[in-house]
Structure 1
Amino acid sequence: MRTDSLNLSPSFLSEARQYIVSEFGPDYCPSKPKVFKSKSKGAQEAHEAIRPTSVARTPQSIKEYLDDKTFKLYELIWERAVASQMNPAIVERTTIDINTSDDYYTLRASGGIIKFDGFLRVVSDQLEETILPRLEEGANMLLGQITPKQHFTEPPARYSDASIVKELEEYGIGRPSTYAPTISTVIDRGYVERLEQNRLSPTDIGVLVNDVLTKHFTNIIDYEFTARLETDFDTISEGKHDWQSAIKKFYGPFKENLENKSETVKREDIIKKREIGIDPESGLPIIARIGRFGAYVQLGDWNEDGKKTNDIKPKMSSLEKGQSIDTLSLEEALELLILPRVVGKNVKDEEIIANVGPYGPYLKVGGKTVSLPENYSPKTISLVECEAVIEQADKVNEEKAKPIADLGEDPTTQGQILVKKGRYGPYITDGKTNVSVPKNMEPDSITRESAIDLLDKKRKKPSKRRRKSK
């Protein structure tokens, strides 16, 4: 469901209030239903808020019918919906001072003492206060444990998905339907990468793209421009504004600026390049730079012009997650340049090479590649371990190649009907036509008749024409 609405239907509010009174008591239910208003500039409130269809369907009552992820999602929705209609908690903010017997040290704790739990009865994890025990003034206490801690001032936390969405809402940029795709797009294009705790960090190529756009397309990379464009789109969709004039107003200056920058801005002015040090073995410089697929290090000076003169391409290796060309050390660069690494040879006298590609670490032997499991590193994996990984991959591929079922000859094509495992799931084939096994069917229980029917329907279905790229 797509909505950032905070509206709840009268029927749900009535049901929720009855449930709260019956389960927790009248003290937990406010005198009248609570109504909330969105603070988001671009809120789309045509829909109702996301809520359970019935308060009576508590998370525990339907847990046995849901998988773990679905249960946690439903529990979150149910708890927030019910808690939104409960009385607030009453927490007394308190500071407790504890003096040593000689009054030389004073230990202080700040937090809260719960006077009335209110909505916390349902969502206790929403309490941001440190809960303190109830103490009497002048009471004697015994020291249980001393834990020394050192605190350092930390920089502001990096954005998470939630904090980015909050920032976009404040600037009036995007809509609920575009928040997730926007974040996915910048990650897929390599402009941003996920760190620990789902924090997002810009990559070298992301910083470069941002620098170029903010320097040469200032009027486009502007919060107010983007928010204003969103508003224009809304008025166009409502029929209050002419789309041709809106596009003309934007595209004319944009095209002129783009053509101008295409002629005046050179690749050499944009691409970042940094000499990190000298390789102790070859004496060649180790250079970090940004390429089409991100930041990398190379051994020796070489650029795209080397292709024209057929110069030998130097050894190169992509930077690892969390590394940057601005902070990369010589030791880290040398470690990266270990790859691609010839681990050894197999019994057929073929070299086994360990490397990292766009889709992660892998082994290459002969004409095939094998993905490397997460518990192995291409920099340290041994020849014996390589052979075991390759052998296991061969077994898996052989197993995948075996048909799940052989259903005999197809009456139309006279091809053998097989149920097989595919990249996107099980499918049925007669050698010419392929059709996915429906989700409501078990691959090993498909009958010949149902397979023939599915293949016939697929043949009669008009093929989708692929749009030619311009």
Structure 2
Amino acid sequence: FSIANIETKPAKKSPSAPFTTSTLQQEASRKFGYSVAQTMRIAQGLYEDGKITYMRTDSVNLSETALAQAKKAVEQLYGKEFVNPRRYKTKSKGAQEAHEAIRPTDLGAQTIAGEGQAKRIYDLIWKRTIASQMSDALLEKTTATINISLPPNVSIGGTAEEKFVAQGEVLKFEGFLKVYLEGKDEEDEENAEGILPPLKVGEKLSRREIIATERFTHHPPRYTEATLVRKLEELGIGRPSTYAPTISTIQKRNYVVKEDREGVKRNFSCLTLKDKQITEEIKSENTGAEKAKLFPTDIGMVV
């Protein structure tokens, strides 16, 4: 095994826009497991207490006052190099943008007094708003091509060499990631890029072990309340004020039920090559387990 080529490219990640109703509902579901109705109830209380702006909005715009507050807060807390004022445009179909994005009324207040759920939502809104006005995160992505020289009289597809590719990334400047990282609906750890050790072209590598794992395809995931809100917004169905009532109504009428379902136990093979010996191990895992997903009922199937 030897390093044939190393390719390094700069990359960056940009912050997400400030919260709209739908993105707040989605993020509160991903990070805290809150239902859309629960999130709106908490946000309503924060709004009535004067802690945040109006919580039913499809706008990602911030007022001049908010932009000035955010710039000041970022500079004081993290330094000038983290400041990057931004204006965002909505991607939602039919957005009316009658109100400002959801933000704290005073960006100088990082925390508030009160019960836990309200403090959680406020903290989420504060971090998202501040991060939206910060610099990009700067990365360095590395792709290493590894040549494999096969033994004499051995070939694969008519060639005596094969290649592996290793990819990884290094965070060079935190930027907005110092404050906030957006959640994901479906985590895919297998595709996550790791960190590579220092490598040089021509460097010889020693093989410790090779593991081949059997995997199966998965059906598209069912909707959670959060992903259903996102789909409604994508299709232009409903308004910020109707997302939570719509999802509550289809559950109250028993069109869908929200529940957890256990997966199916499935066996798979894991082959390990080590010290010129191949060993096979049969492992098992639960696949298709679903948590807090919406399932259509018999009534819902004919509505």
The TM-score, its normalising length taken from structure 1, stands at 0.39
Residue identity in the other structure for 1:5: S
Instruction: State the match for 1:57 in structure 2.
Output: 109
Instruction: State the match for 1:115 in structure 2.
Output: 172
Q: Could you tell me how far 1:125 is from its partner in structure 2?
A: 5.0
Aligned residue for 2:170, secondary structure, equals strand
Cα separation, 2, equivalents of 1:174 and 1:5: 15
Q: Could you tell me how far 1:90 is from its partner in structure 2?
A: 2.1
Question: Is 2:128 the counterpart of 1:34?
Answer: no
Cα separation, 1, equivalents of 2:212 and 2:117: 39
Larger radius of gyration: 1
CA contact (8 A) 1:42 1:169 kept: no
Q: Which of 231, 242, 252 is equivalent to 1:167?
A: 231
Question: Is 2:109 the counterpart of 1:15?
Answer: no
- Give deviations 1:304-328, integer Å, cap 9, x for gaps: xxxxxxxxxxxxxxxxxxxxxxxxx
Q: Which has the higher contact order (CA 8 A, sep 6+)?
A: 2
- Give deviations 1:287-340, integer Å, cap 9, x for gaps: xxxxxxxxxxxxxxxxxxxxxxxxxxxxxxxxxxxxxxxxxxxxxxxxxxxxxx
Cα separation, 1, equivalents of 2:170 and 2:235: 37
Instruction: State the match for 2:199 in structure 1.
Output: 136
Residue identity in the other structure for 1:200: L
The TM-score, its normalising length taken from structure 2, stands at 0.58
Aligned residue for 1:199, secondary structure, equals strand
Question: Is 2:136 the counterpart of 1:84?
Answer: no
Instruction: State the match for 2:217 in structure 1.
Output: 153
Question: Is 2:119 the counterpart of 1:71?
Answer: yes
The structure with the greater share of residues assigned to helix is 1
Question: Is 2:258 the counterpart of 1:194?
Answer: yes
Cα separation, 2, equivalents of 1:44 and 1:98: 53
Aligned pairs for 1:91-110 (under 5 A) are 91-97=139-145, 107-110=164-167
Alpha carbons of 1:151 and 1:29: their partners in 2 closer, same or farther (altered >3 Å)? same
Cα separation, 2, equivalents of 1:72 and 1:26: 27
CA contact (8 A) 2:134 2:176 kept: yes
Alpha carbons of 1:143 and 1:4: their partners in 2 closer, same or farther (altered >3 Å)? farther
Alpha carbons of 1:132 and 1:3: their partners in 2 closer, same or farther (altered >3 Å)? same
Cα RMSD of the aligned pairs, angstroms, is 3.0
Q: Could you tell me how far 1:41 is from its partner in structure 2?
A: 2.3
Which ranges in structure 1 are unaligned for 5 or more consecutive residues? 210-470
Instruction: State the match for 1:48 in structure 2.
Output: 100
Question: Is 2:301 the counterpart of 1:207?
Answer: yes
| Count, aligned residues | 203
- Give deviations 1:177-231, integer Å, cap 9, x for gaps: 111111111111111122333222212221122xxxxxxxxxxxxxxxxxxxxxx
Instruction: State the match for 2:266 in structure 1.
Output: none
Which ranges in structure 2 are unaligned for 5 or more consecutive residues? 1-54, 152-160, 260-289
Cα separation, 2, equivalents of 1:56 and 1:111: 37
Q: Could you tell me how far 1:22 is from its partner in structure 2?
A: 2.4
Deviates more, 1:18-27 or 1:82-91: 18-27
- Give deviations 1:106-134, integer Å, cap 9, x for gaps: 65433432232211111145699634245
Cα separation, 1, equivalents of 2:209 and 2:79: 40
Residue identity in the other structure for 2:135: N
